């Protein structure tokens, strides 16, 4: 089974270059769409693989959108956590209870937050090999894969053995638009639900906001001569 965690981002009003806050409409993260496309491609190479989309949250609409795009199963992890380490923790808890997870393919980051932390943290919690910013995945057999990842020096191939975690960069390979049949099928699909173990001690996020006081003093000048004199007084000339 290939697991594809998905998240949602706020729908941007591209024409007006602003964020559409009306009803807070949210869409499937574009990088997660790239991950879903890569997972489906891997499923075609090795037909025994099934693609399971997973979302940490409360809304199952996102999962139905992913099912319409080609996901074969869906699980909603009912949790209100929003910090990367917390999301990675509940994902790891769910994955460890599954018998046949061979890979986790997920977007490198959310298009509206761009932290890119969940994937590497999840790999660390699972103690699985990982590759980040992957643009292409190919496999010679069902146990050995080659991930092509973006680096500062260009594209670098990385050998991976199952199980593994990869995060995908934004790809030009777009998923086909869902048909009416796909949308109807996604609405009738059974979405499995999972409640994380509340007995586990929650990870406390300690944040402290520091505001630095500004020592700048603004002076309004009316001519270039006044500007030169002001800079000279401040020993900046």
The answer to whether residue 40 scores a pLDDT higher than 90 is no
Q: Confidence class of residue 175 from pLDDT cuts 50, 70 and 90? A: confident
Tell me, what's the pLDDT at 23?
55
Segments in 69-110 forming alpha helices (H):
84-96
pLDDT of 139 reads 78
Question: Residue 200 pLDDT > 80, yes or no?
Answer: no
Task: Return the pLDDT at 39.
Answer: 87
More confident residue, 13 or 58: 58
pLDDT: is 120 or 26 the higher one? 120
Pick the residue with more confidence: 39 or 42? 39
Position 140 confidence tier, pLDDT thresholds 50, 70, 90? low
Average pLDDT over residues 90-107: 91
H helices of the chain, where? 30-45, 61-68, 84-96, 118-126, 180-188, 224-233
The band of 8, judged by pLDDT with boundaries at 50, 70 and 90, is: confident
SS3 151: strand
pLDDT of amino acid 95? 94
For the cut 70, the answer to whether the pLDDT of residue 176 exceeds it is yes
Whether the pLDDT of residue 131 is over 70: the answer is yes
> Comparing C-alpha atoms, which of 168, 166, 164, 190 is closest to residue 76?
190
Q: What are residue 88's phi and psi, to 5 degrees?
A: -65, -35
Torsions phi, psi for 25 (to 5 deg): -65, 135
pLDDT the model gives residue 204: 65
pTM of the full predicted structure?
0.74
**Domain definitions of the chain by residue range:** 2-233
161 or 13: whose pLDDT is higher?
161
Q: What is the pLDDT of residue 143?
A: 79
Please tell me the predicted confidence (pLDDT) of residue 16. 53
39 close to 47: Cβ distance less than 8 angstroms = no
> HSE on the CB side for 21, CA within 13 Å?
1
Task: Give whichever of 40-49, 121-130, 148-157, 225-234 has the largest mean pLDDT.
Answer: 121-130
61 pLDDT tier (thresholds 50, 70, 90):
confident
> How many other C-beta atoms lie within 10 A of the C-beta of residue 78?
14
> In the prediction, which pLDDT does 128 show?
94
Give pLDDT, residue 173: 67
Domain spanning 2-233: CATH superfamily? HUPs (3.40.50.620)
């Amino acid at each position: 089974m290939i697991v594809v965690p998905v998240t949602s981002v706020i729908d941007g009003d591209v024409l007006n270059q602003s964020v559409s806050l009306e009803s807070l409409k949210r869409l499937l993260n574009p990088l997660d769409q790239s991950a879903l496309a890569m997972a489906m491609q891997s499923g075609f190479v090795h037909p025994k693989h099934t693609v399971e989309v997973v979302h940490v949250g409360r809304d199952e609409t996102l999962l139905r959108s992913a099912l319409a795009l080609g996901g074969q199963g869906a699980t909603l992890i009912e949790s209100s956590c929003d910090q990367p380490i917390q999301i990675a923790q509940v994902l790891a808890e769910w994955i460890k209870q599954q018998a046949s997870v061979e890979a986790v393919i997920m977007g490198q980051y959310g298009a509206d937050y761009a932290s890119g932390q969940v994937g590497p943290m999840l790999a660390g919690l699972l103690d699985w090999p990982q590759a980040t910013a992957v643009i292409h995945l190919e496999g010679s057999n069902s146990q050995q894969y080659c991930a092509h990842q973006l680096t500062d020096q260009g594209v670098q191939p990385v050998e991976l053995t199952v199980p593994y975690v990869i995060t995908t960069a934004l790809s030009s390979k777009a998923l086909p638009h869902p048909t009416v049949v796909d949308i109807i099928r996604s609405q009738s699909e059974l979405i499995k639900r999972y409640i994380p173990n509340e007995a586990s001690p929650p990870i406390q996020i300690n944040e402290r906001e520091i505001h630095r006081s500004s020592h700048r003093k603004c002076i309004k000048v009316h001519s270039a001569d006044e500007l030169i004199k002001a800079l000279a007084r401040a020993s900046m000339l």
